[in-house]
Each structure stands twice: as structure tokens, then as C-alpha cells.
Amino acid sequence: MDARLRRVNKEITDCKNDKTSQIKIELVDESPFHLKGSFPGPEGTPYEGGKFEVDIVIPESYPFQPVKMKFITKLYHPNVSSASGAICLDILKDAWSPVLTLKSTLISLQSLLCSPEPNDPQDAEVAKHYMTSKQSFEETAAYWTHIYAGGPPPKGSGGAANDEVAIAGLDKAQVDRFEALGFQRSKVVDVLRRLNYRGANIAKISDDVVVEKLLMA
């Protein structure tokens, strides 16, 4: 048995024996080098109540080379791509150390959900939302947790499923206003999302600019 396989098997066993962290690791297709990790969303965050799954690929030179991780579960966070699940975290790149383990790395991901770093984003649009209106960002993140991670319905959502306006973190009244001008709803949502038409930014973006973008879309 090579050193990489011994190390990975030990880490999987250690994780199974740890009943307190709630970090879980399981094999994908019986391969010890392709794994799926999971952890609960941290309490007191918009991710609370959700279960977040992570795809893990062990490189050939592990532990001297960082593991490759990306989120399987969709989530709304400045440091995670809302499209691909790619993660911006230093220990997955140049700050990796062989003393880190699969469990400690997953715990770091869990901590990232508590402390977003919008100035070093993976998803620039989400980072802009976070910096423009943190309350609106948290409402959107909680909605994503509900529909994608099995979290509880956010307060005031009425439990509605897959509302494209809520998913984009936009004000329904503003979307309705531009839709009433004759533009397709999905096009309005896309343009307002890209313009970061939220919170204090709304006053900075004239209706003429929005209409021009809608006509070009």
C-alpha cells in the first residue's frame, strides 16, 4: 500500500470516528482518491440548517500537493462560484501544508461560510451584492440554503420554491416595474442582477441605463 493510500484511509477512518465535528467523508464509486465531504451550515449564518456537500479529488502527490475541492451543493457566497462551485481559499492553493487533513480543510470551508472575504472573491457579482447590501445578501443566501441545501424557509418567504427574483437577490417591486414596460421577466432579472441593482445602488443607476441594457440584451 503506497503512502498516499495509507494517509487517505487513515484520514477517512479518523473522520468516521469523530462524532463531534459533524464532518463526513465518503467514497465516490469506491475510489479512495475521489471522495465526497459534507458538513452542516454554521449556526448564526444564512447557511444554518443546510447540508453542504463538497467534491474532493486527491492528487497523486498528496499530501505535498493540495486536495482539489469544489462545492456540489449550490450556495450564495462571495468566495464560491454560484455556477461551478469553485472555491477561493488560500489553503487550497499556495497556503496548503502537508500537515492539513481532509477534515481540517472541510472545517476551514465551514469557517469560510461564517466569514466571507468579498475583497478576494470567486464570484464577483455575489461579492458586489454583499458589499452593497449585507442584509439583502443574507436573505438571498438563506433562500439558496433553503432551495439547494435543504435548509428552513427564510422568514417572510412563504416557502415559495425557485423564485427567480429571490434567487437573484433582487427587489420584486423593481423587477415588476421594468417588466410592466414590456420586457420579459427573465431578461429583467438577468440585467438587474448584472447591474447589481440592489440597496443603495438603485439610486445610482438611472432607469434610462436599465432600459438601454434591456434593449441590448
Catalytic residues: 88
Q: Quick count: other Cβ atoms within 10 Å of Cβ 164?
A: 14
CB-based contact 89:72 (threshold 8 Å): no
